[in-house]
Amino acid sequence: FPEMVSNPKLVLAQGTLNVVLKQNVTLSCLSEPGSPPVRYTLFKHNQQVSALDRSDLSPALFTLTISSASDVGEYKCKAEYNNSSGGKYSNSLNFTLIEPVSKPVLSSPTSQAKKGQNVTLSCFSKNGSLPITYLFFKGTQNISPQKTMQKREAAVIFLFINSLSDFGTYKCKANNSFPNNTKYSNSFNFTLAEERSHPQPLIISLGLILLLLIIGFALAIPFFLIPLYKASE
């Protein structure tokens, strides 16, 4: 046999590189050209996972079950002739564990607004693999383009309260690359802030009038008391 085999090629035979828990994936490793028999060894982070011997030119198939976060990472395979000291390594494949998004929370710094006011809405999912895509709704109609967040931060939109119809029910939804997993937020409603009357000017005016009356009465007392005092003498 030749002293060394050619570099094998590691490819996905089944599954995807973005994986979920309990997902099965199959890796194919083949040194081509090569003369059998060849031993193929699969490694994860330089630790041996499994080994298969092939007496023909068929690839070695390694089936893995992603049961925990420790099962993701970089995989390589090594091809070598039996009873030889040399071997060649393949390219690497990296698996990434994707998590579903959690139910997003829709919130605003204020729950009361009045016509002509600018307000903000924020939508945030605490858990889930990035990136996360958010979409805002009023009733059943979306009210903004979708926002894809590459960082763990809330998506924010700005609204202008123009009429009473803007005081409806708002929601948002979140999803990511996790299959068949879209989560909707709580409902959020803006309430119309009461137009407060402004009694302060009236109160101030009445207070000034009362104060003037008291001062006037106080000034008038001597004029009433002096004649009465003289009359009593």
Which of 97, 118, 146 is the last residue in one of the domains? 97
Is it the case that residue 213 has pLDDT exceeding 70? yes
Q: Are residues 93 and 109 in the same domain?
A: no
Instruction: Note whether residue 177 is domain-resident.
Output: yes
Q: Is residue 125 part of a domain?
A: yes
The answer to whether residues 57 and 132 belong to one domain is no
CATH number for position 173: 2.60.40.10
| Domain end residue (candidates: 41, 70, 97) | 97
pLDDT in tens, 90-128: 999 999 999 999 999 999 999 898 888 999 999 999 999
Model confidence at 199: pLDDT above 60: no
pLDDT at residue 223 tops 80: no
168: Cα within 13 Å, side-chain hemisphere: 16
**pLDDT value for 224:** 63
- Is residue 188 domain-shared with residue 138, that is, in the same domain? yes
Task: Give the residue numbers spanning the domain of 134.
Answer: 105-192
pTM of the model: 0.63
Question: Is 85 found in the same domain as 17?
Answer: yes
Q: Which two tokens stand for residue 222?
A: 């001597």
Exposure class string for 173-210: b at 16+ Cβ within 10 A, else e: bbbbbeeeeebebeebebeeeeeeeeeeeeeeeeeeee
Same domain (yes/no): 19, 67: yes
Q: pLDDT of 127-173, one tens digit each? A: 999 999 999 999 999 999 999 999 999 999 999 998 888 888 999 99
Q: For 80-117, b where at least 16 C-beta lie within 10 A, e where not — what string?
A: bbeeeeebeebeebebebbbbbeebbbbbeeeebeeee
Q: For residue range 16-46, list pLDDT tens digits in order.
A: 999 998 999 999 999 987 677 899 999 998 8
Is residue 5 very low, low, confident or very high in pLDDT (cuts 50, 70, 90)?
confident
Q: Are residues 111 and 88 in the same domain?
A: no
Query: How many angstroms separate the CA atoms of 90 and 31, rounded?
Result: 9
Q: How many domains does the chain have?
A: 2
Q: What is the pLDDT of residues 46-69, one digit of tens each?
A: 899 999 999 888 999 999 999 998
Q: How far apart are CA 20 and CA 11, in angstroms?
A: 19
| Cα 161 → chain centroid | 26
Enclosing H/E stretch for 227: helix 200-232
Q: How far is 74 from 228, CA to CA, in rounded Å?
A: 111
